[in-house]
Structure 1
Amino acid sequence: MTPEKLLRQIDFIKEIDKLKYIQRKTKLFNSDRYENDAEHSWHLALMAMILFEHADESVDLLKVIKMVLIHDIVEIDAGDTFIYDTQKAHSNTEEERLAANRIFGLLPESQAEDLINIWEEFEAGETQEAKFARAMDRLEPLLQNSSNNGGTWNEPGVNYNKVYAKKSVIKAGANVLWEYAEGLIDDGVKKGVLKKD
């Protein structure tokens, strides 16, 4: 007989497969294909592994990797909110909280509690790990848009001020990466793919 704990873990593993179907607004590097949430999370985990030496302060890399791998799981239920959406705030909503409780709640209690705590820490953005994880989350689509002739910067209502404000989160976790990101934003303006109103 299969232990109940294992069955719950397998149920969770099956459920999170749905992350592969959540489309994002950004496209893969130099591509017309939209990225999905699973690809995004995987990419952030590898970015964290490669770039963590640039964090402003020492970070627990395993915790950062956990954060970036699970931060968007709630979008299975809540959907992906475009970072520049003017109708819906790109923040921790009640909808996401319900999703976190349901999806992580599929796991045995101690694992569910651990992942909910990590997700909440990421969302709060106050610890060094959360600041660095959020820097990765904001840097990746910036790199994509830079490689795609502006990408989502071409969406209605998106301009330099909005991009700068949203991407400045990078500065809180990795100043060196923020300096690089600022250069990409400025290049977008110079190339005419990011409007400065």
Structure 2
Amino acid sequence: MQNVIDFVMEIDRLKAVTRKVKPVGLDRYENSAEHSWQIALFAVALAPYASGTPDIGRVMAMLLVHDIGEIETGDVMVFFEEGLSDRKQAERAAIDRIFGILPASEADYLRGLWSECEEEQSVEARFAHAIDRAMPALLNLRNQGQSWRENGISHERVVKRLKPQISLGAPALWDYLEAELEAAKHKGYFGA
């Protein structure tokens, strides 16, 4: 029991990891724990639009663990690809340490979910990535491009980075976003 309690208290630190986008209607930046919770529920609501027939419980579990490594590495916008390999190594070391707090079977299960999500080979992982990529875009669309403008992110860069994963995991979601992003470009929601 103590290991589980220690793990739960350790992951509480995810609430302190600040992201670059603000929740709709708020003047503060969201944290990674809020993001994980929101996209897990998004998976349930969006399930009918997934490619294939993913196990939604497994998708939710992946989305709840996918950013745990950020407790030690912090969050970096998906649009910043410089140093990606080093960041992924650091994130892997962090999840090994954090999941290692748990008894071996639970640690192995969570590491497996995290790895599966990272590798994007299963229908569940592809759907999880589509949702993870889409949520910040949806927030930016509601916030008049807040983080895109603050960080100099162009429309072209958004489309280039989001389209492959979203169109693969949830094609109807990409169709929706593509039209919304085009409209946002004409409204001046992008930087650079």
TM over 0.5: yes
1:85 counterpart = 2:53: no
**Unpaired runs of at least 5, structure 1:** 1-5
Which structure has more strand as a fraction of its residues?
1
Separation in 2, partners of 1:105, 1:160: 40
Q: How does 1:1-197 map to 2 (within 5 A)?
A: 6-85=1-80, 87-89=82-84, 93-168=88-163, 169-194=165-190
Query: What are the superposed Cα offsets for residues 74-104 of structure 1, whole Å, 9 maximum, x if unpaired?
Result: 1001111122226432886110110010000
Q: 1:175 to 1:91 in 2, by over 3 A?
A: farther
Query: Which residue identity lines up with residue 129 of structure 2 in the other structure?
Result: R
Which is further off, 159-168 or 103-112? 159-168
Query: Which residue identity lines up with residue 44 of structure 1 in the other structure?
Result: I
Query: What are the superposed Cα offsets for residues 133-168 of structure 1, whole Å, 9 maximum, x if unpaired?
Result: 011101110110001111111134411111001111
CA contact (8 A) 2:73 2:87 kept: no
Distance apart, 1:36 and its partner CA:
0.3
Separation in 2, partners of 1:184, 1:34: 22
- Percent identity over paired residues: 40
Separation in 1, partners of 2:56, 2:12: 24
**Unpaired runs of at least 5, structure 2:** none
Count of aligned pairs:
191
Separation in 1, partners of 2:129, 2:146: 20
TM-score of the pair, normalised by structure 1: 0.92
Coordinate RMSD, CA, aligned:
1.6
Query: What are the superposed Cα offsets for residues 16-43 of structure 1, whole Å, 9 maximum, x if unpaired?
Result: 0000000000110133221000100000
Which structure has more helix as a fraction of its residues?
2
Which is further off, 167-176 or 152-161? 152-161
Separation in 1, partners of 2:171, 2:20: 26
Separation in 1, partners of 2:151, 2:171: 29
Distance apart, 1:126 and its partner CA:
1.5
TM-score of the pair, normalised by structure 2: 0.94
